[in-house]
Amino acid sequence: MKTPLSSILLVLAASFIGSIAAVLLKAGADRLKEGWPAWAGKLGAGIGLFVLSSILYVWGIKDGSLTVLYPMVSLGYVWTLLWSRIFFGEPFNRPKVVGLALVLLGVFCIGAGNQ
């Protein structure tokens, strides 16, 4: 089964949106001690984006090969590392960079199996 480009794009979008959702959940969680108005919007937005991400993922896998598409979800780790650095000042270090390089290599190798 050859996976259509539309399925790949939907799963990649789901991965990207899911990473933004994770950042919003973290931002909301960091404000939990401040009372509900301070965190409710960020947590609500994070949950909403996770739902949207799940819907896009389901649409994506409907017509594609799960063995090709599911590993693409792991690209969310790449986005999340970048967002964590930008929004929370979390450091890049060698183990994180090596791990992400391995994730990218794995996604590439599995995607090459779509041929």
DSSP string, the chain: -PPPHHHHHHHHHHHHHHHHHHHHHHHHHTTGGG-HHHHHHHHHHHHHHHHHHHHHHHHHHHSS-HHHHGGGGGHHHHHHHHHHHHHH-PPP-HHHHHHHHHHHHHHHHHHHTT-
pLDDT at 114 over 70: no
Sequence-distant (≥ 6) Cβ neighbours of residue 95 within 8 angstroms: none
**What is the per-residue pLDDT for 3?**
85
Give CA–CA dist 63/68, Å, rounded. 12
pLDDT at 33 over 80: yes
6-10, 74-78, 83-87: which has the minimum mean pLDDT? 74-78
pLDDT at 49 over 80: yes
Kindly report the pTM of this predicted structure. Answer: 0.85
Domain boundaries, the chain: 5-112
Q: At what angle do helices 36-62 and 5-29 cross, to 10 degrees?
A: 160
